Amino acid sequence: MAKDELSARMERIVSLCKRRGFIFQSSEIYGGINGFWDYGPMGVELKRNLKDFWWRRNVQEREDVVGMDGSIIMNRAVWRASGHEETFSDPMVDCKVCKTRHRADLLPERDGAKYCAHCGSAHLTEPRDFNLMFKSHAGPIESDENLVYLRPETAQAMFVQFRNILDTSRQKLPFGIAQIGKAFRNEINPRNYTFRSREFEQMEIEYFCRAEDGLRLTDYWLEERLKFYEDIGIPRPKIHIKDIPAADRAFYSKRTYDLEYEFPFGVSELEGIAYRTDYDLSRHIEHSGKPLEYHDEVAKEKFVPHVVEPSAGVDRTALALICEAYDEEEIAGEGGGSETRTVLHFHPRMAPVKCGIFPLLKNKPALVACARDIAARLRPHMTVFYDEAGAIGRRYRRQDEIGTPFCVTVDFDTIGENGPEKAETVTLRHRDAMSQERIPIADLRERLLAAIH
């Protein structure tokens, strides 16, 4: 697709997200706030499905990974030890002509020279470091002693609690700690919709191991993570694996893979998988003076474990899911011509609503009662949407736009008006093929649960 077409496609995706309650600008009625977003009724379900499935795959279905939920604000000493206070910065430049501010490493280049992405001028200031951590104060006094940061990543809590978790979980190496939570970065230029925000969520694993297993386990996690993306509906060919060369890696990392997705605005990072050696635990041993070593009782050895870190963004993955699912199809219209169907082809396990439930007509109490009864019986097991307004075709279209994989219609056959053999059966309509089949009400729950698990 050409660049113009891709940006038009992105605009239509953004507009659908607002129209159908996926994503709104934060504080919109006051003009918004750059880099912050709210998720509406559909968006929150999508994110929840994503986080729940990540947790299930990486924590609940594994013997060797345990979870935790750390605080957002931690002792400032954590960020000194981790190096964030000193070095978690991006190079910032100002355009001398239009006075806009930019991240120097993301500026476009012409004949080897960077230029302003806003006005095109090459008159830029020298880059200077801008620390991305948001500051606040804990307690009523705004002094340097009370200075705290909003965490810019969830990872540090897992290093800082390594000893407590090791002592209480009875894990042996190799094992991991996983966490999902908010992170904050005062990005110089929030952009590309939710892709680069100032408040976002991360899903991170710190997988601790022996030094000799580090490189092998980095490749193991790369494969696990690719499988995960496939299982939520992002096919492998859409993920680009970037093996980061030594010169571009953090100095302590022996291997780093970036997983990138083909967003309409360009191929961009979804997740980083970094083999961080023993850097993090060693720094915390040094700064806290506490013993964070691992004791191997059998081999009678004591050492600092190495760590492999798969670190993914919830918001970036949710945006990738929406971009991947979005489609505009030409289909036969009701009046004979053709019409465009906007549809989100979400994997059923990610879809915000699993099943739409419709009575054929809203003025027939027996149809309405039966449809409401089916909705009530499915609701404890999945998100359903009851809708009686408008023609059935219009109701299908509304569900297509939010990516509902199944719709059930209750008609006169269901309530036994056309003979006993079709009674207690409904039409089950499939979103992608737009095909319909007749199935007994009694089979609905099992059929749908098997597809959305």
Which of residues 314 and 384 has its CB atom nearest to ligand ATP in the complex? 314
- Euclidean distance between the first and final Cα of the chain, in Å? 34
Which of residues 175 and 257 has its CB atom nearest to ligand ATP in the complex? 257
**Dihedral (CA of 291, 292, 298, 299) sign:** negative
Name the helix (H) or strand (E) containing 226. helix 214-231
Q: Quick check: 113 and 104 in contact, CB under 8 A? A: no
From the CB of 257, what's the least distance to ligand ATP, in Å? Answer: 11
Q: Quick check: 326 and 402 in contact, CB under 8 A? A: no
Q: Quick check: 189 and 93 in contact, CB under 8 A? A: no
Closest-by-Cβ residue to ligand ATP is 313
Matching residue, tokens 């991170």 = 204
Structural tokens at position 196: 């680069």
From the CB of 313, what's the least distance to ligand ATP, in Å? Answer: 2
Q: Quick check: 229 and 259 in contact, CB under 8 A? A: yes
Which of residues 264 and 405 has its CB atom nearest to ligand ATP in the complex? 264
Which of residues 315 and 387 has its CB atom nearest to ligand ATP in the complex? 315
Q: Quick check: 183 and 204 in contact, CB under 8 A? A: no
SS3 assignment, position 132: coil
Which of residues 8 and 250 has its CB atom nearest to ligand ATP in the complex? 250
From the CB of 45, what's the least distance to ligand ATP, in Å? Answer: 20
SS3 assignment, position 360: coil
From the CB of 244, what's the least distance to ligand ATP, in Å? Answer: 10
Which of residues 152 and 359 has its CB atom nearest to ligand ATP in the complex? 152
From the CB of 411, what's the least distance to ligand ATP, in Å? Answer: 46
Which of residues 20 and 196 has its CB atom nearest to ligand ATP in the complex? 196
From the CB of 261, what's the least distance to ligand ATP, in Å? Answer: 10
Q: Quick check: 161 and 152 in contact, CB under 8 A? A: no
Residues lying near ligand ATP in the complex (CB under 6 A): 153, 185, 187, 196-197, 200, 202, 269-272, 311-313, 315-316
From the CB of 85, what's the least distance to ligand ATP, in Å? Answer: 16
Structural tokens at position 416: 């036994």
Distance CA 153, CA 370 (A): 49
Which of residues 171 and 192 has its CB atom nearest to ligand ATP in the complex? 192
344: left (phi over 0), alpha (psi -120 to 50) or beta: beta
From the CB of 199, what's the least distance to ligand ATP, in Å? Answer: 8
Instruction: Give Cα 190 distance to the centre of its chain.
Output: 17
